[in-house]
Amino acid sequence: ILSYLSIGEAENYRYYWQKEWDINPPSWLEEENPDWSGNYKVRYWDKEWREIIFGNPDAYLDKILKAGFDGVYLDLVDSFEYFEELQ
């Protein structure tokens, strides 16, 4: 059984979302995806975002693995295209 993990967008309905981000977003949080309400592009290379995703006991990936999933579907691995278009 696979779990889902978006690495290219933050989702305001996930456990890690902090209410203050609605008013004062972190520097790594970009604009909302116009096609998916509540999903925001992220600067995926930023240390703060990476720490949310992996590398500590409270990270999203660690929670998935502890839940016993067999694997993880990583969504939006092509997020670099969004940032290429901005240049």
Domain around 56 = 2-86
pLDDT tens-digit readout, 43-62: 999 999 999 999 888 999 99
Q: Total domain count for the chain?
A: 1
* Residue of 56, 30, 60 lying closest to 44 (CA atoms): 30
- Neighbouring CB atoms inside 10 A of 35's CB total 6
What tens digit of pLDDT does each residue of 9-32 get? 999 999 999 999 999 999 999 999
Give the predicted TM-score (pTM) of the model: 0.88
